[in-house]
């Protein structure tokens, strides 16, 4: 029934942008809606947004070369391999937004989409690390991650997958790479912690972010906001190179 309805939207009506929301109910007690294989493999469908589903397999995304935008919000998978297979099946992605979790911790999430321009990782749970391989990113947003900075890797195609965060003080191997640049970085739920500050300062010192670093502080109480604003002021003080004068670091 679900597949018939999706086909009517994509094949008959040739829908380009599809959003599906599911109220969990008893989903986390074992019940879930299963999408049939190839559910989203239609040439006209370019944007897909899913909210509140459990994915037990990646079969519904088989050969999804048509998708350019994928948003997964409050999505739970049986294991991390499902998410990795979904992303591998969508090689044309330009926009990727993730709020995802797994039943159990099981290694790194691999985002190896060469055409990706905007990446928002809003929240992850029970995901041990994230490996991003893309040379075309214009915007990168980082929210609440279940992994530490040592497990978040940005790398270019063809380079060693070793952790670039460990190389931030090595002049011969700057983090993430001398050629890697993004115009905008959005940091959601930035609390000013030592680890978060280290990540932000690293992105600034190495020249990774070019135009804007936007730090969200509205989700914290007023007293905490003062601490965050102090951390932001310290980040702004890191802008010393003439070529970085156009970089704006702001709270929102």
If we measure between CA atoms, which residue out of 76, 14, 74, 24 comes closest to residue 45? 14
Quickly state the pLDDT bin for 251 (edges 50, 70, 90).
confident
| Upstream peptide bond of 183 is cis (omega within 30 degrees of 0) | no
Tokens 């310290």 sit on residue: 234
In eight-state DSSP terms, residue 8 is I
The mean predicted confidence, pLDDT, of the chain is 79
Residue 37 belongs to some domain of the structure: yes
Residue 2 belongs to some domain of the structure: no
Domain count for the chain: 1
Q: What distances in angstroms separate CA 214 from CA 11, 51, 55, 143, 188, one per listed residue?
A: 40, 25, 32, 12, 8
Q: DSSP string of 46-79?
A: -EEEEES-EES-SGGGTT-TT-SEEEEEEEEESS
State residue 68's pLDDT score. Answer: 95
Residue 10 belongs to some domain of the structure: no
Least confident of 29-33, 56-60, 135-139: 29-33
Residue 5 belongs to some domain of the structure: no
Residue 185 sits in which domain range? Answer: 16-251
- Alpha-carbon span 10 to 47, nearest angstrom: 11
Position 110 pLDDT exceeds 90: yes
Residue 227 belongs to some domain of the structure: yes
Quickly state the pLDDT bin for 67 (edges 50, 70, 90).
very high
Residue 30 belongs to some domain of the structure: yes
Residue 135 belongs to some domain of the structure: yes
């Amino acid at each position: 029934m679900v597949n018939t309805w999706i086909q009517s939207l994509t094949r008959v009506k040739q829908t380009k942008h599809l959003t599906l929301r599911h109220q969990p109910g008893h989903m986390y007690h074992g019940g879930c809606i299963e999408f049939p294989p190839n559910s989203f493999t239609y040439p006209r469908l370019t944007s897909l947004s899913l909210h509140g589903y459990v994915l037990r397999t990646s079969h519904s995304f088989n050969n999804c070369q048509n998708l350019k935008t994928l948003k997964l919000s409050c999505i739970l998978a049986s294991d991390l391999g499902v998410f990795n297979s979904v992303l591998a099946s969508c090689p044309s992605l330009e926009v990727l937004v993730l709020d995802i979790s797994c039943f159990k911790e099981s290694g790194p999430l691999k985002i190896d989409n060469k055409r990706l321009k905007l990446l928002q990782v809003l929240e992850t749970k029970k995901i041990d690390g994230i490996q991003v391989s893309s040379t075309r990113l214009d915007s990168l947003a980082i929210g609440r991650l279940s992994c530490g900075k040592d497990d978040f890797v940005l790398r270019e195609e063809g380079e060693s997958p070793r952790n670039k965060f460990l190389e931030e003080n090595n002049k011969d191997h700057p983090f993430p790479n001398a050629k890697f640049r993004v115009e905008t970085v959005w940091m959601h739920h930035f609390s000013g912690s030592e680890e978060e500050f280290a990540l932000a300062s690293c992105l600034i010192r190495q020249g990774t972010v070019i135009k804007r670093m936007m730090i969200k502080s509205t989700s914290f109480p007023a007293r905490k906001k003062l601490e965050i604003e102090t951390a932001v002021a310290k980040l702004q003080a890191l802008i010393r190179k003439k070529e970085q004068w156009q970089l704006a670091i702001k709270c929102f």
